């Protein structure tokens, strides 16, 4: 996924199907400069982590 699309998904009021390493995640924030995203698994909102935007896939 590219950074612009990740930002669009993060700002969208609609839930999108996004996967990282086989796990459905929610994008909280996207950092343009580092091209990373702050995400968490849909079933574990307390388990936040940072990933490269390139590792995200929209289903």
| pLDDT tens for the 59 residues of the chain, in order | 999 999 999 999 998 999 999 999 999 999 999 999 999 999 999 999 999 999 999 99
Residue 8 DSSP code: H
The per-residue pLDDT for 5 is: 97
The per-residue pLDDT for 35 is: 97
Chain position carrying tokens 């999108």? 16
- Residues 6+ positions from 2 with CB-CB distance below 8 Å: 53
Taking the CA of residue 57 as centre, how many other CA atoms within 13 Å lie in the half-sphere pointing to its CB?
7
Nearest to 40 by CA among 48, 28, 30, 50: 48
Read off the pTM.
Answer: 0.89
């Amino acid at each position: 996924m590219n950074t612009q699309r990740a930002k669009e998904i993060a700002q969208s009021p609609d839930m999108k199907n996004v996967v990282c390493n086989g796990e459905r995640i929610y994008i909280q924030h996207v950092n343009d400069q580092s091209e990373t995203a702050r995400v968490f698994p849909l079933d574990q909102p307390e388990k936040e982590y940072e990933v490269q935007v390139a590792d995200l896939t929209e289903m």
